[in-house]
Each structure stands twice: as structure tokens, then as C-alpha cells.
Amino acid sequence: MIKTILLILLGLFFILNGINHLINTHTYKEYADKKGLISPRLMVRISGIALIFGGLSIATGYFLLIGIIGLSLFLVVASFTIHQFWKESNTEKRLLEGMHFAKNMAILTELIYIAYS
């Protein structure tokens, strides 16, 4: 029962982030553009859709492994293309990007654990 509730909450986390990507596409597009992402508007929309479908997969349990793989790919790509803390010269930006990178790696670890349990 507790595992089910936690999976629903984790799925909701991804669903809400995906909706946020779609609602605030312009803001995320500008950020991705500053980071040098190729076709930032398209990538933001694709990531939003991937987050929603991955979150639904985790929350419902349908196509769970496919959802985990999709979310894992998103987290790896986002971490190494957007949250490159090692390239930041400003201390505050380095810390902020480092926190986002670490958060993504922690969530990735959690997804791998879910996939193998």
C-alpha cells in the first residue's frame, strides 16, 4: 500500500513537471537556448510530453519499464546538457546547477531501484 502511494506521488511529480514544461514553454525554451540546446522549443515540448507519459506510467503501473527508461533518458540528457555545473564560473550558478544535477542523479537512482524491485 505504501509503495503504491509513493509511486503515485513520484508519478505526479513527473506529470506536474511535464505540464509545467508545456505551460511555460517560452521560459524553458529561453533557458535551453542559453545552454546551447539544439531546437530548444521542440526539445522542451518533447521533454514535457515524455515527463507526462513517464509519470503516468509510474503512477498507474502500465508500461512501467518503458516509462522508467524514458524518464531515465530524459534525466541523463537534461543533466549533462542543461545542468553543466562544471562549466559555470559564477559561484551561485555553479551551486544551483550542481543541485539540479545531483537531484536528477538521485531521481535516476530511484528509478533504477524501482525497475529492479
User: Please, what is the angle between helix 64-81 and helix 91-115, to 10°?
Assistant: 160
| Residue-range definition of the domain harbouring residue 20 | 2-115
Mean pLDDT of 76-87: 94
Over 90: is that where the pLDDT of 117 sits?
Answer: no
Mean pLDDT of 50-70: 96
| pLDDT at residue number 85 | 94
- Give the list of residues 6+ apart from residue 99 with CB closer than 8 angstroms, or none: none
Counted domains in the chain: 1
Percent of the chain with pLDDT over 70: 100
Q: Which three cell numbers stand for residue 56?
A: 503516468
Q: How long, in residues, is the chain?
A: 117
